[in-house]
Structure 1
Amino acid sequence: MTKTALVIGAGITGVCTAEWLRRAGVKVTLIDRIEPGDPAQTSYGNAGLLARVAIGPIADSSLLRKAPMMLLDPDSPLFLKWSYLPKLIPWIVPFIRNMTAKRIEEITAALLPLTEDSVDQHIALATGTSAAQYIRTGDYFYYYRDRAAFDKDRAHNDLLRRAGFTVIPHDRAQMLAIDPAISPAYSYAAAHPDHGWLTSPGKYVAALADHFRAAGGEFKRGEVVNVTNATVTLQGGEVLTADKIILAAGAWSGPLAKQLGQKSLLETERGYHLFLNGASYVPPHPFMVSDAKFVVTPMEGGLRCAGIVEFGGLTAPRSTAPIALLKKRIRQVYPDLTWDSADEWMGFRPSTPDSLPHIGALPDAPNVIVAFGSQHIGITIGPRLGRMAADIALGKRSNIDLTPYAPDRFR
């Protein structure tokens, strides 16, 4: 019986894991080198979208053909620090292998149970806490340049329909009735009902963590330098022990898991956001700008534009080009938009070659459960992934087949 647990990482997945375990009567210590909700966390800077329809893998069969030109196009949402390329190759090779039609179908089937009830999972976790005030529900849109662009995206929308999602086309007149400030450059859209978003992802994570602490959970600030099957060692030498250890440190999980024999093939996708404080116009719902591959989300105090993929590792400095691109693109969407000031942010998405998270006990350290690798959908699946990790720690059987997320699948 699990009586005590240590959770490494106080981002969305770690906080959710800790809270689910606490509610099950486990004495939990949550560990991170920074406070929950801190701007240095990836959970702080995401698009805030609870993306139920995010079931397509990053590895798309067309990407192999498009990627070289995208990397050379300054208006493309894909960036690479070229000095990092040699370190990226061990990840790229299996990434390409996952571009087959068969693998894409398998990965999509594995992502669906993680995302489809994500709004309900967030509401279940946040109800009764101050975090609930940051959840909004409604439609999520894809904006297209025209009907032809929508038709070109038929494979994606057909995939969503087969998975049970609703896709509602909107012409220009219908778009203007909902979003009257939209540029004439965008004349077609698709609405996806029953979605959600967060008006402040950082405050949301912090509020969940505050509830966890107020209800008896412990938060310990420190940097984890070593993990064994029974212990966690912090910088400075303090050693903590527990019945179960859950590793949910996002992009920083890989080196710690490697100490325990796991080959995680975890890579860092650097994501950027531009937050427009005091934006003169805020849309009533979040949307994806389909041709630019970034999400626009109405949030507390302004408008967040989030997206971009840059491969460059954990230590390279922030690039200026991605932020410049976001500024250019948001003006194409809302030509008359003004704002008081802009905040720029970069964070690290933990991504695997097959777009699936690692979830499960490590074969060589069965008391250590990993829960990381959520790529672009970390905030979306945080409560679901946390519940799954908690259930594994408690010895409960999952109603989801965990095989696709096995921690040893890259051995």
Structure 2
Amino acid sequence: MKSAGVRKIDVAVVGAGIVGICAAVNLVEAGRSVTLFDRTGVCEETSAGNAAAFAFSDVLPLAQKGMMRQLPGWLRDPLGPLTVSPSYLPRLMPWLFRFWRAGWVSNHDRSVAAQVALMRLAEQEWLDFLDRSGTRTMLREHGALELYESEAEFRAALPGWDVRERHGIAFRHVEGTELAELQPGLSPRFVKATFVPGWKNVSDPKQLGKAIFEYGRTLEGRLQFEQRSVAQVEANSGGGAQLRFADGETLSCKTLVIAAGAWSHLLAAQLGERIPLETERGYNTTLPASSFDVKRQLIFPGHGFVITPLEGGLRVGGAVEFAGLERAPNYARAKAMLAKAQAFLPGLDREGGREWMGFRPSLPDSLPVIGHARLSRDIIYAFGHGHLGLTQAAATGRLVRDLAGGNVPPLDLSSFSPRRF
């Protein structure tokens, strides 16, 4: 029988994906006592099955990267790079309108500048964080190849590379012998590629998240985890916040961090804030490591997926499906990507794969929400990173620490404001 009293803690972080983990550990390093809450476990959902990339050069808004131009054709293909469940389309229309508007030239430069600033902080914070947590051995620095099947596709990508060049991002275009050396065994259908030497990957995103959590647990016992479903959040009139769990227990905390990924906007709505977050459902298949000798992450922009070599396998995944949080997975999408992967790498062995689906929390302008709730400065939002949750997690954790401590953040957070919409 539960006590009638309300349990009190210092910091509650809702969501134990990689963003929540990094926020929690940063706060523990700053001397706070933190409890992570998650319905499944530590790094067990979307953060477990991502493409394992530190994509610090991926600074272009999705709406700008040719997606609106290709959108009509993609929508006609239910197994293509982007699809929308017909029954979900009416609900998605306001988000798609904002997505289209985010690609306007007047919005583009502002979004890119904000993303570049966050990426620079992310790279610095991740390298420091990996060293502090003893996980630097999980970093892979082999770069990435973005591959093109025609001269026209390559030329269409050049404006985006020009933007990256203006922001000091290193790359070089390759073809012929150099392309074959960077990735032997590619189909000859790929006539050109862009090699990004600063692109980094990790050996396994799930194991990295769990290792960082365990590092946090060594810091004087100030990091705890509880497998709980949070049903409701509210701001306390005198400061702090309250959480009510699905089992009826209520808890009070001095600081609340909402980092619950694709479910975060539902909690923000309880605090009176309408944040246009949508769920990009992504699919992958993880094959045995012996399936093909992939040297570095391979990116297929015309098909919306990547192939990533992991420590224990080869991950083929990506694409976008808008169908909400409740619809059953459509693993035909994973199978379609795997069939393409075999065509692109003719020697690929497709046997023995494990299929997976996860929920990416996506905002129309491709920037996350990082900032205080309107009702209380004791409530901090840290969500909506889309495809870049792993990439930007360490920077977000640092920014959460600064916000919670009343310190001036190292970059302007106005572009990430919860109220920018």
TM-score range, shorter chain: over 0.9
Q: Name the structure 2 match of 1:220.
A: 226
**Pairing 1:268–2:274 present:** no
Q: Name the structure 1 match of 2:407.
A: 396
3-state SS of 1:124 partner: helix
**Pairing 1:362–2:366 present:** no
What stretches of structure 2 of length at least 5 have no aligned partner? 1-8, 236-240
Deviations 1:143-176 (A, max 9, x none): 1224443222111110110111112111120011
**Pairing 1:121–2:125 present:** yes
Deviations 1:45-81 (A, max 9, x none): 1111100111111223853343122111356301111
- Paired with 2:172 and 2:67, the residues of 1 have a C-alpha distance of 26
3-state SS of 1:13 partner: helix
Which residue of 180, 198, 202 corresponds with 1:198? 202
Q: After TM superposition, give the deviation of residue 257 of structure 1 in Å.
A: 0.6
Q: Name the structure 2 match of 1:319.
A: 330
Q: Name the structure 2 match of 1:297.
A: 308
Which residue of 230, 251, 258 corresponds with 1:240? 251
**Pairing 1:376–2:376 present:** no
3-state SS of 1:189 partner: strand
Q: Which moved more, 1:177-186 or 1:257-266?
A: 177-186
**Pairing 1:92–2:103 present:** no
**Pairing 1:143–2:154 present:** no
**Pairing 1:12–2:23 present:** no
What stretches of structure 1 of length at least 5 have no aligned partner? none
Which residue of 32, 48, 51 corresponds with 1:47? 51
- Paired with 2:68 and 2:302, the residues of 1 have a C-alpha distance of 17
Q: After TM superposition, give the deviation of residue 118 of structure 1 in Å.
A: 3.1
Runs of 4+ in 1 over 6 A off after TM superposition: none
Task: Assess if the C-alpha contact under 8 Å between 2:49 and 2:206 holds in 1.
Answer: yes
Q: After TM superposition, give the deviation of residue 91 of structure 1 in Å.
A: 1.4
**Pairing 1:208–2:212 present:** yes
Q: Name the structure 2 match of 1:409.
A: 420
Deviations 1:229-251 (A, max 9, x none): 22112221222222211100000
Amino acid at match of 2:43: G
Q: Name the structure 2 match of 1:30.
A: 36
- Paired with 1:316 and 1:398, the residues of 2 have a C-alpha distance of 39
Q: After TM superposition, give the deviation of residue 270 of structure 1 in Å.
A: 0.5
Amino acid at match of 2:208: Y
3-state SS of 1:354 partner: coil
Task: Assess if the C-alpha contact under 8 Å between 1:84 and 1:311 holds in 2.
Answer: yes
Task: Assess if the C-alpha contact under 8 Å between 1:260 and 1:365 holds in 2.
Answer: no
- Paired with 1:367 and 1:256, the residues of 2 have a C-alpha distance of 15
**Pairing 1:152–2:156 present:** yes
Amino acid at match of 1:64: M
Amino acid at match of 1:36: V
Deviations 1:364-389 (A, max 9, x none): 12210000000111111011111111
Paired residue total: 406
Deviations 1:345-380 (A, max 9, x none): 111110112111111111112210000000111111
- Paired with 1:69 and 1:291, the residues of 2 have a C-alpha distance of 11
- Paired with 1:278 and 1:298, the residues of 2 have a C-alpha distance of 7
Task: Assess if the C-alpha contact under 8 Å between 1:199 and 1:299 holds in 2.
Answer: yes
Q: Which moved more, 1:7-16 or 1:316-325?
A: 316-325
Indicate the RMSD between aligned Cα atoms, in angstroms: 1.7
Q: Name the structure 2 match of 1:73.
A: 77
Q: Name the structure 1 match of 2:137.
A: 133
Q: After TM superposition, give the deviation of residue 4 of structure 1 in Å.
A: 2.4
3-state SS of 2:62 partner: coil
- Paired with 1:146 and 1:94, the residues of 2 have a C-alpha distance of 31
Which residue of 102, 109, 112 corresponds with 1:108? 112
With structure 1 as the length reference, what TM-score do the two structures score?
A: 0.94
**Pairing 1:177–2:181 present:** yes
Q: After TM superposition, give the deviation of residue 133 of structure 1 in Å.
A: 3.1
- Paired with 1:187 and 1:95, the residues of 2 have a C-alpha distance of 31
3-state SS of 1:393 partner: helix
3-state SS of 2:291 partner: coil
Q: Name the structure 1 match of 2:5.
A: none
Q: After TM superposition, give the deviation of residue 194 of structure 1 in Å.
A: 1.8
Q: Which moved more, 1:232-241 or 1:151-160?
A: 232-241
- Paired with 1:206 and 1:71, the residues of 2 have a C-alpha distance of 37
Task: Assess if the C-alpha contact under 8 Å between 1:250 and 1:349 holds in 2.
Answer: yes
Q: Name the structure 2 match of 1:277.
A: 288
- Paired with 1:353 and 1:178, the residues of 2 have a C-alpha distance of 34
Q: After TM superposition, give the deviation of residue 339 of structure 1 in Å.
A: 4.7
3-state SS of 1:108 partner: helix
Q: Name the structure 1 match of 2:360.
A: 349
- Paired with 1:113 and 1:395, the residues of 2 have a C-alpha distance of 21
- Paired with 2:251 and 2:397, the residues of 1 have a C-alpha distance of 21
Task: Assess if the C-alpha contact under 8 Å between 2:282 and 2:320 holds in 1.
Answer: yes
Q: 1:75–1:173: structure 2 CA closer, same or farther, 3 Å change rule?
A: farther
Q: After TM superposition, give the deviation of residue 128 of structure 1 in Å.
A: 4.3
Task: Assess if the C-alpha contact under 8 Å between 1:140 and 1:286 holds in 2.
Answer: yes
Deviations 1:237-284 (A, max 9, x none): 222222211100000111111111111111101011111124332222
With structure 2 as the length reference, what TM-score do the two structures score?
A: 0.92
Q: After TM superposition, give the deviation of residue 315 of structure 1 in Å.
A: 0.5
